Amino acid sequence: MAEALWHGSDVIAALDTHLLATPAADWQAQGLAIDTRELNTGDIFVALPGERAHGHDYVARAFDEGAAAALVGADFKADDVSENAVLLRVDNVLAALEALARAARKRSRAHIIAITGSVGKTGTKASLAAALMKSGKVHAAERSFNNHIGVPLTLARLPEDAEFGVFELGMNHAGEIAALVDMVCPHCAIITTIAAAHIENFDSMASLAAAKAEILGGIEAGGTAILPFDSEYFDMLAATTKQHEINMLSFSADGRSDADSHVERAKLHEACSCVTANICAQTVTYKIGAPGIHQVANSLAVLSAVHVAGADLALAALSIAEQDGLAGRGARYRLGEDDAPVTLIDESYNANPTSMAAALETLSLTPRKGQGRRIAVLGDMAELGDGAAQLHGDLADKADAADIDLVITCGALMQNLHKALPRGRLGLHADNHQDALSILRRELRGDDVVMVKGSNTSRMGLVVDGLIDMLSETRHQKEAR
């Protein structure tokens, strides 16, 4: 049987001021879950209120699935659960989850690293977690668990014997990162690229950068900030580290030798990059399993964090070659017929102007084969405020520079890009994701390379799913003949 994550007595102690009644303490939990579909036997079920349903409606199911306990509100009616069920009744379930998260952080001896930024948070988190696994037991956030629920849930799941913890902190508004980092209390924090994501919620890019810098105020005394030297906001970030009296390391994909970690040589290929870099005065040569200069920048931040954590830098560099793109964040698929396969690059998980430009640049690295073309399917970018139309139109130059053969735009905002495409650059427009998929069905041919990207609201993920289904069906029909 797996070692317990929490003993009942420790949970009760952590929730002391939140509990409305003290339950039995002779139980233990293997984990926590906020969704009964993901609950494992022995988990604590956290019954949070939701927009469409309340966790209270699923408590009975959670116990049927083997939950060890349930964290519930004061108004929970226990009619459908056994009288022996362990109910942790509190005034506020989310506040109680945060209390358990803080208790997990307090008891942990792990080296904790937190990551924020506008672009590359999840990929950097995954890469860093994999790199640190070469040196010890790592606990990291699942998927994009980076908000007011995902962060305390991930922290409450932190095993007491973990040696490293990697957390992703996201935000839509000022003040949100400050609240999250106050729980995580990292020894080290990474800020990746700062770009115009969620800019409609800020009066300027400087204000958005200041919101990202909130992470620096939560670093433990004597800790280290790892900052993007190539960013126009670097000076502001560096000044903030001085205000908080923490150490600072910088990284530069542009090869700026005055950065603590910088590229000495980099060769960008279709599906990977080969890099020689100086990482905090150590020369490291490595391959990155995903293409693009933005991946090179993120790798410098990862290896800098490995250095700060005292982990094995050489093994970490080797691990980076083993990592390819995540689903929705650069994953590549070869689909269709073997003699002329279609390459699908899935960048469908969210977008802003900076990440969109990076995806187009990465697509340009893919050479044409046979009669194949480079095709970009681009959905609306959300939360860009009053400048949204201009920011979409400005991507026309990026698509032209990347020499994209066919630009399929999707959505009302992306019409601005469609209209701005230069003469001779082929573009087709769709009002919605279904129409975009229909255009692909009509236009697609063997050896094409298709990159799909857009904000989640544009539903570009469904275009990816539809294309995979379509080309998988083509292969199946061919094999059946």
CATH number at residue 46: 3.40.1390.10
357 and 260 in one domain? no
Q: Which of the four pLDDT bands, split at 50, 70 and 90, describes residue 324?
A: confident
Structure tokens at 109: 């001896």
41-98 pLDDT, tens digit per residue, is 999 999 999 888 899 999 999 999 999 999 999 999 998 899 899 999 999 999 999 9
pLDDT of residue 373: 95
Domain count along the chain: 3
Residue 100 lies in a domain: no
401 and 359 in one domain? yes
Closest by Cα among 5, 59, 60, 47 to 29: 5
307 and 254 in one domain? yes
200 and 131 in one domain? yes
396-412 pLDDT, tens digit per residue, is 999 999 999 999 999 99
135 and 50 in one domain? no
Q: What is the mean pLDDT of residues 237-260?
A: 96
Q: Which of the four pLDDT bands, split at 50, 70 and 90, describes residue 478?
A: very low
Judge whether 25 and 9 are in contact, CB under 8 Å: yes
334-374 pLDDT, tens digit per residue, is 888 777 899 999 999 889 999 999 999 999 999 999 999 99
pLDDT of residue 481: 30
DSSP state of 216: G
Cα(291)–Cα(271) distance, integer angstroms: 5
Cα(121)–Cα(144) distance, integer angstroms: 9
Neighbours of 74 (CB within 10 A): 11
Closest by Cα among 148, 124, 265 to 140: 124
pLDDT of residue 471: 85
312 and 199 in one domain? yes
To the question of pTM greater than 0.85 for the whole model, the response is: yes
Residue 387 lies in a domain: yes
DSSP string, 19-51: BSS------EESEEESSGGG--TTEEEE--B-S
Q: The domain containing residue 78 runs over which residues?
A: 6-92
Q: Which of the four pLDDT bands, split at 50, 70 and 90, describes residue 418?
A: very high
Residue 97 lies in a domain: no
Residue 344 lies in a domain: yes
464 and 390 in one domain? yes
149-204 pLDDT, tens digit per residue, is 999 999 999 999 999 999 999 999 999 999 999 999 999 999 999 988 888 889 99
Amino acid at 232: E
Judge whether 324 and 289 are in contact, CB under 8 Å: yes
pLDDT of residue 190: 98
358 and 227 in one domain? no
pLDDT of residue 65: 96
* CATH code of 177's domain: 3.40.1190.10
Which residue has tokens 């003469």? 423
Residue 209 lies in a domain: yes
Q: What is the mean pLDDT of residues 238-259?
A: 96
* Domain end call among 35, 67, 92: 92
Q: How much is the mean pLDDT over the chain?
A: 93
Q: What is the mean pLDDT of residues 238-242?
A: 97
224 and 85 in one domain? no
* CATH code of 410's domain: 3.90.190.20
For 269-304, strand residue ranges (E) read 273-279, 282-288
* Domain end call among 92, 117, 145: 92
pLDDT of residue 476: 37
Residue 1 has pLDDT above 80, yes or no: no
Residue 98 lies in a domain: no
181 and 37 in one domain? no
Residue 103 lies in a domain: no
211 and 181 in one domain? yes
173 and 76 in one domain? no
Q: What is the mean pLDDT of residues 450-472?
A: 93
DSSP string, 73-131: ETT---TTS-TTS-EEEES-HHHHHHHHHHHHHHH--SEEEEEE-SBSHHHHHHHHHHH
Measured in whole angstroms, the distance separating CA 436 from the mean position of its chain's CA atoms is 26
User: Kind and range of the H or E element at 474?
Assistant: helix 460-480
Virtual torsion, Cα 133, 139, 142, 146, nearest 10 deg? -120
Residue 477 has pLDDT above 70, yes or no: no
Residue 139 has pLDDT above 50, yes or no: yes
Residue 474 has pLDDT above 70, yes or no: no
Closest by Cα among 253, 280, 272 to 264: 253
* Domain end call among 270, 293, 321: 321
